[in-house]
Amino acid sequence: MNKDRMSTVETAICDSFRSDPTRLNPPSSVCISGRPEFHHQALWRHLEKAGHAVYRFTEDLALLDAVGACSPSAIVYEIPAGRERAVQFLNQLAKLNHDACVILVGPEIGAESVAHCLRSGAFDYLTVPVSSARFMTSLHDGLVNRHTFRVVRNLSQELAQSNERLAEERNALTHWNRTLLALNHLTQVLTASLDSETIVRSLFTGLATLVPLDIIGLACAEPHRIMTWSRSSAWTCQEMQVREWLLRHFPEDAKPRTSSRQPLDLVGAEALSREDCAPLSSFPAVGDDRHTMTIPLPISPDRQGVLYLERREGTFTEAEFKMLSTVGTSLAMALRNASTHQMIQELALRDSMTGLLNRRALEDVLAREFKGGFRYRSSACLLLVDLDYFKAINDQLGHLAGDQVLRGTAALMRRAVRDIDVVGRYGGEEFGIVLPHTDLDCALVLAERLRREIESQEFEADQGIVRITASIGIAHIPAVTIRSVSEWIAAADSALYGAKASGRNRVVVHVPDQAVLVEGATVMLAAP
pLDDT tens-place string over residues 113-127: 889 989 988 999 998
Residue 161 lies in a domain: no
Q: Which domain CATH number covers 229?
A: 3.30.450
Find residue 474's DSSP bridge partners: 383, 509
Last residue of a domain, one of 347, 380, 397: 347
Q: Is the pLDDT of residue 257 over 50?
A: no
Asked, for residue 418, whether it belongs to a domain, the answer is yes
The phi, psi pair for 303, rounded to 5°, reads: -135, 125
- Residue 231 has what pLDDT? 75
- Label residue 431 by pLDDT band (50, 70, 90): very high
The residue from 303, 327, 347 where one domain ends is 347
Determine the pLDDT at residue 300: 73
- Domain membership flag for residue 37: yes
Q: Is residue 376 part of a domain?
A: yes
Question: Using CA atoms, how far apart are residues 80 and 305, in angstroms rounded to an integer?
Answer: 91
Asked whether residue 51 falls in the same domain as residue 128, the answer is yes
Average pLDDT over residues 221-232: 70
Does a structural domain hold residue 450? yes
Range 434-459 average pLDDT? 94
Given a cut of 50, whether residue 11 has pLDDT beyond it is no
The pLDDT mean for the chain works out to 79
Q: What is the pLDDT of residue 5?
A: 41
What pLDDT shows up at residue 503?
A: 93
CATH label of the domain that carries residue 446: 3.30.70.270
| pLDDT tens figures, 340-364 | 887 888 778 888 899 999 999 999 9
Q: Flag whether 188 is in a domain.
A: no
What is the rounded CA–CA span in Å between residue 200 and residue 305?
A: 13
Give the highest mean pLDDT range of 340-349, 476-485, 498-507.
498-507
Q: Tell whether 50 and 77 lie within a shared domain.
A: yes
Q: What is the pLDDT of residue 110?
A: 87
Give the model's pLDDT for residue 21. Answer: 38
Residues 135, 10, single domain; the answer is yes
Same domain for 415 and 338, yes or no, is: no
Position 512 scores a pLDDT of 67
Residues 374, 515 share a domain? yes
Contacts for 40 with CB less than 8 Å, ≥ 6 apart: none
pLDDT band at 453 (very low <50, low <70, confident <90, very high): very high
Q: Is the pLDDT of residue 376 over 80?
A: no
At 249, the pLDDT band (50, 70, 90 cuts) reads low
Residue that is last in its domain, among 347, 368, 402: 347
Same structural domain, 248 and 390: no
CATH code: domain of residue 43:
3.40.50.2300
pTM metric for this prediction: 0.53
Residue at 215: amino acid letter = I
Range name among 176-180, 241-245, 489-493 with the lowest pLDDT average: 241-245
Number of domains in the chain: 3
Same domain assignment for residues 21 and 134: yes
Domain of 92? 3-153
Q: How confident is the model at residue 165 (pLDDT cuts 50, 70, 90)?
A: very high
More confident residue, 410 or 511: 410
Q: What is the pLDDT of residue 81?
A: 67
Q: At residue 299, what are phi and psi to the nearest 5 degrees?
A: -65, -45
Same domain for 135 and 13: yes
- Within-domain flag for 164: no
Q: What is the pLDDT of residue 226?
A: 77
Which DSSP symbol is given to 503?
T
Q: Give the whole-angstrom CA distance, residue 435 versus residue 421.
A: 5
Does the pLDDT at position 170 exceed 70?
A: yes
Residue 90 domain-assigned?
Answer: yes
- Cα–Cα distances (Å) from 98 to 65, 114, 351, in that order, read 12, 21, 93
The answer to whether residues 322 and 216 belong to one domain is: yes
Q: Does residue 487 share a domain with residue 380?
A: yes
Q: Is the pLDDT of residue 24 over 60?
A: no
Number of H helices, E strands in the chain: 15, 20
Give the start-end residues of each E strand in 4-45.
29-33
pLDDT in the model for residue 209: 84
Instruction: Name the CA dihedral angle for 122, 127, 128, 134, rounded to a multiple of 10 degrees.
Output: -80
Residues 471 and 493 in one domain: yes
Contacts of 75 (CB under 8 A, 6+ apart): 30, 31, 32, 33, 63, 67, 93, 100, 101, 102, 103
pLDDT at 464: 81
**Would you say residue 444 has pLDDT above 80?**
yes
Residue 38 is predicted with a pLDDT of 81
Quick one: 146 and 259 in the same domain? no
427 has pLDDT over 80? yes
